[in-house]
Amino acid sequence: MPRGLRTRFAPAPTGFLHLGHVANAAVTWRVARATGGSVVLRIEDHDRQRCRPVLETALLDDIEALGFVPDEPTLGSLRAGGPSAYRQSDNGASYETAVVLLDRVAAVYACDCSRTTFARWAAGHGHAWSGPGCPGGCATRRLDREARGVTWRVALGDGEEPWTDLVLGERAGTPSAGGDLPIRDRHGNWTYALCVVVDDLRHEIDLVIRGEDLVEATPAQVRLARLLGRVTPPRFLHHPLIRRPDGRKLSKADGATGIREPLAAGTSPSDLRRLAAEAIASA
């Protein structure tokens, strides 16, 4: 395991922390501390329709209660209010600057294809859309990027992008497997795919620790980072997920796996961290 790597824990304030978040945090802090690295806490609130300040407060309270202390920023600085370099909603200018750069090196275009458009194309062809572009051929239609209800996509091109996964080994994948990458949604929100790449660049993250459900997103993020000037991609560590009995991954709607109630009822933070570690080890 490389030493001195800089990683991050990045919850979204769209609900309360659940056991899956605890498992991810436990892995993140354990790897960072064992290798002499550091942990950045980032609030990923790019989705303005779903994120709530009261949920951010709850996340900070739960992180502190569980004993996870980030190296930066301090929890107090986030609680104090005011703009923060570690809160996505305060850093729209960074994402706008990234789009200006992308406009110079790749095609960024408006797209009016919806999930229904992709589903209809798949039904007509017997398989899902794969490769650059989109079913509507929007890259050549020159739609107005400022029109209401359009998504912005960036053309990432063909080929493969390699990366190093500290669990899965050397990997490579197609960055446009599901079409050109959305970077702003139809509501005007910057997407996770854009924000996480820009933030990892500006926060100098060189180890990304996250669940195995995001493995397929990695090639597009590596290619996007390359277009934005990142020469060497970060290392990745994709760990198993804690799943529900029916096989689905946990979500913030799973009240039975939330951590606020057990903490309030007297379950110790160390017991919750142990339960999460055991669950991920057996996944």
What the chain holds in terms of domains, given with CATH numbers, is: 1-89+247-283 (3.40.50.620)
Q: Which of 112, 177, 118 is nearest to 139 (CA)?
A: 112
pLDDT of residue 245: 60
The pLDDT of residue 213 is 92
User: Across the chain, what does the average pLDDT equal?
Assistant: 93
For residue 233, is the peptide bond before it cis, meaning its omega torsion is within 30 degrees of 0? Answer: no
Query: Which of 4, 1, 6, 2 lies closest to 39 in space, CA to CA?
Result: 6
Res 63: pLDDT: 96
pLDDT band at residue 275 using 50, 70 and 90 as cut-offs:
confident
Where residue 248 falls among pLDDT bands split at 50, 70, 90? low
Do the beta carbons of residue 135 and residue 121 sit within 8 Å?
A: yes
Position 249 scores a pLDDT of 65
* Choice between 25 and 283, residue whose per-residue pLDDT is larger: 25
Give the pLDDT score at 247: 57
- Global confidence as pTM: 0.93
CA–CA distance, 231 with 52 (Å, rounded to integer) = 35
Residue 252 confidence class, pLDDT cut points 50, 70, 90? low
